[in-house]
Amino acid sequence: MTRSPKLTRLVPEQSLKRLELKVTRRLDGLLHGEHLGLLPGPGSDLAEARLYQPGEDDVRHMDWSVTARTTTPHVRDLIADHELETWALVDLSPSMDFGTARMEKRDLAVAALAAVGFLTARLGDRLGAHIMHGGQIRRWPARTGRIATYTLLQALLDAPRGTAGPDGPRLADALSGLARSQTKRGLRVVISDFLDRQETPGGELSWERPMRQLAVRNQVIAVEIIDPRELDLPDVGPVMMTDPETGDTHEIILSAKVRAAYVEAAAAQRARIRGALRSCGAGHLTLRTDRDWITDVARFALQQRRVAGRPQPRGGRP
């Protein structure tokens, strides 16, 4: 397919080729394909036998020879297929149209998906996506190959801008939909700024519970997209600010006191997001529009390699 100049700039071929060579070899199962699956699942290779758990195990997987030998019901696990599906949830809500540095947040989200797509495409896995855009959630079917990956990336870049409105789907809705529609275990990548102000009656962020449920059966990587102006404001005096999600506009005087309060609130918000993702058991990758995203992705992959095999934190509730 013919790629637009913008896509070529956002997804540099040579850099991604180096990323494939340097990062994939260090993932050790973080992304699937040449490696065995992270969790037992549908496949053709037999794994070890274990005790049968009534109500949980499929009787079709009963190991009758071991059961007869031990007089205790046993089942035989299956090793997950080498070719698996990776699903990404990409947030293209209006807050992702913001950007004051090298690129806009939505462009960085496309770049993040490109990294995932190239890593999985190299290993022969299929990549699919759920896209939050225009007040709805669109499902992009899972396909394999570089052409399919570039087609998905170009579709994201070509998506028009707009206001989601108060009745549009939230991140929590999209996470729940992803968990319900994709039941086969694998890698799930959530790309968003996580700027959802809604809270549950218990004080949790609205997306925490569905994120935790998604991480119970899958390996989840949360890619948080940040612009530096979301963490600090310039000293420019009175400005007109518009909420991209609702379209509401207000005049604000950026005095020293207001800017200091904003910095404190923004830092607290990001700390809360980090804590929520950690409690959900998701890997947390932060990408900023003013930094080299390829370097940040490579650094994250190395960190994941170091903690491979360690117990991953899980939330206390399903």
How far is the C-alpha of 214 from the C-alpha of 312, rounded, in Å? 14
Structure confidence at residue 187 (pLDDT): 85
Q: What is the pLDDT of residue 1?
A: 57
The confidence score (pLDDT) of residue 14 equals 58
Contacting residues for 166 by C-beta, under 8 A, at least 6 apart:
246
Q: Which amino acid is at 112?
A: A
Q: Distance between CA 315 and CA 318 in Å, rounded? A: 7
- Asked if 95 and 136 touch (Cβ cutoff 8 Å), the reply is no
Query: Tokens for 284?
Result: 């947390």
pLDDT one-digit tens code per residue, 39-76: 344 444 445 677 887 876 778 788 898 899 899 998 87
Q: Tell me the average confidence (pLDDT) per consecutive run of 10 residues in the chain, 318 residues long.
A: 70 57 41 42 53 78 88 75 78 89 90 83 78 89 86 89 68 92 85 82 86 90 94 87 79 90 93 94 93 85 63 44
Q: In a 10 Å sphere around its CB, with 0-12 CB exposed, 13-18 middle and 19+ buried, how is residue 5 labelled?
A: exposed
pTM for this predicted structure: 0.75
Structure confidence at residue 197 (pLDDT): 67
pLDDT of 12 reads: 61
Q: What is the pLDDT of residue 315?
A: 43
Closest CA to 214 of 239, 190, 240, 249: 190
Q: What is the DSSP letter of 83?
A: S
CB 101, CB 203: distance < 8 Å: no
Which tokens is 170 given? 């939230």
- Count Cβ neighbours within 10 Å for each residue of 93-107 and write b for 16 or more, e otherwise: bbbbebbeeebbbbb
Q: Which domains does the chain have, with CATH numbers?
A: 5-34+83-306 (3.40.50.410), 45-79 (no CATH)
User: Residue with structure tokens 């700024």?
Assistant: 193
147 and 158 Cβ atoms separated by less than 8 Å: no
